[in-house]
């Protein structure tokens, strides 16, 4: 089973910031590394700002792992979600900044 924090980075942030990441690292050449957030099961505890590694989809390092080609800072925004059963806190990606 994959943690919510890892899925958030791997999928939601990827989809929201695809245009910027394509410009910075090349179309279809990058992947966000959500592995550092695999222990976050409650998104209410997710940090407002996180640094995320950008991995190459085509290159490997000397250990056979995906090569790190950059790092980005993602700013998140929290909001209240309400339904018939109560209220909860949601999170969405707000901004991205290239660190290197």
> Can you tell me the mean pLDDT for 78-100?
87
How far apart are alpha carbons 52 and 33 in whole angstroms? 6
pTM: 0.88
Residue 25 has pLDDT above 90, yes or no: yes
- Mean pLDDT rounded to a whole number for the chain: 92
pLDDT at 71: 97
pLDDT tens digit sequence for 26-80:
998 999 999 999 999 988 889 999 999 999 999 988 899 999 999 999 999 999 8
Q: Copy the structure tokens of residue 94.
A: 């707000």
Q: Is residue 37 a contact partner of residue 5, using CB atoms and an 8 Å limit?
A: yes
- Show me where the domains of the chain are located: 4-98
């Amino acid at each position: 089973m994959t943690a919510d924090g890892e899925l958030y980075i791997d999928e939601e942030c990827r989809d929201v910031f695809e245009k910027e990441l394509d410009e910075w690292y090349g179309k279809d050449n990058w992947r966000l590394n959500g592995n550092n957030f695999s222990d976050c099961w409650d998104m209410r505890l997710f940090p407002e700002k996180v640094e995320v590694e950008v991995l190459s989809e085509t290159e490997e390092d000397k250990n056979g792992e995906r090569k790190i080609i950059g790092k980005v800072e993602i700013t998140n925004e929290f909001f209240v979600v309400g339904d018939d059963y109560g209220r909860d806190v949601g999170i969405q990606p707000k901004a991205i900044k290239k660190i290197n």
